[in-house]
Structure 1
Amino acid sequence: MKFRRPQAENLEINLTPLIDCLLFLIIFLMISTTFNKASKLQIVLPEAKGDAAKPSKAKSIEIGVSAGGIYTINGQELAVKDPKQLQSAIEKVSEGKRDLPFIIAADGKASHQAVITVMDVAGQMGFVNLSISTRVSSENP
């Protein structure tokens, strides 16, 4: 009895279905992707037009932020820019009262981070009456 030797079949990888799947994925991604060019934000800041608020006789805490990021509390300059030092200085001035008016007066060229730091410290301390002071524009309506 003579047996045939098994012959090795030639294995081929058919790439046509793979290419079809990749093309469908590419077409799907091209259709679902939006191509917006948003490299710059056009921001127009509003001006405050109105009567200046009359100063109240109640004690308030006014935090000033200079263009260089230097903080002042009720006109007294702080030597450091550290948020923990700012918090301890506010604690001294507020004497534990969290319902005092808290006013932030920042220079127009002060960094956004310096102003946010003051707001964050005030929020962590529990102040509820926060306001930002502005100046009335020089234009007459």
Structure 2
Amino acid sequence: MNFRKHLRDDPEINLIPFIDVLLVVIIFLMLSTTYSKFTELNVTLPTADADRPKDNPREIIVSVSGDGRYAINRKLIEGRSVDLLAGELAAASEGSKDVVIIISADATAAHQSVITVMDAARRAGLPKLTFATQANQGR
């Protein structure tokens, strides 16, 4: 028989595996973090030159209201179909293909209304389109 007293060993916390795991996590984070901006797009924006004369003096302004009504050069169009709008654009261009269509849409206008103007311009054979914007004065 074994009459000796057994001394209880105090449990020890081994920190070496914990430190190893932390080092692996730190290495993983260092390797997976990118410090360069590879997803950024390089965009060259045009500059405005107010002194330069316009290349295309002929413009047709198509206004789109918030409720989907159209006006061509401040003349209200009765109807909202693509064919009617294409006919009005062709008549306003007077057969010229160098006309620039300026789409001036209300901020609350539906996207479909603007797409209808773009489709009507394509059907009328007027490929030059641009959008009118308002300068932000509050900033």
TM-score by length of 2: 0.58
Q: Unpaired segments of 5 or more residues in structure 2? A: 1-46
Describe the shift of the 1:77–1:53 C-alpha distance in structure 2 as closer, same or farther (beyond 3 A): farther
Secondary structure of 1:64's partner?
strand
Correspondence list, 1:1-141, <5 A = 56=54, 58-140=57-139
**CA RMSD, 1 decimal:** 2.3
Describe the shift of the 1:127–1:69 C-alpha distance in structure 2 as closer, same or farther (beyond 3 A): same
Q: Unpaired segments of 5 or more residues in structure 1? A: 1-49
Question: Residues of 2 paired with 1:87 and 1:106: CA distance?
Answer: 17
Per-residue deviation, residues 25-84 of structure 1 (Å, max 9, x unmatched): xxxxxxxxxxxxxxxxxxxxxxxxx86968958221110000000000000111111111
Describe the shift of the 1:98–1:107 C-alpha distance in structure 2 as closer, same or farther (beyond 3 A): same
Larger RCO: Structure 1 or Structure 2 (Cα < 8 Å, ≥ 6 residues apart)? 1
Question: Residues of 2 paired with 1:58 and 1:51: CA distance?
Answer: 17
Does structure 2 retain, via aligned residues, the 8 Å contact 1:52–1:136? Answer: no
TM-score by length of 1: 0.57
- Tell me which structure has the larger Cα radius of gyration: 2
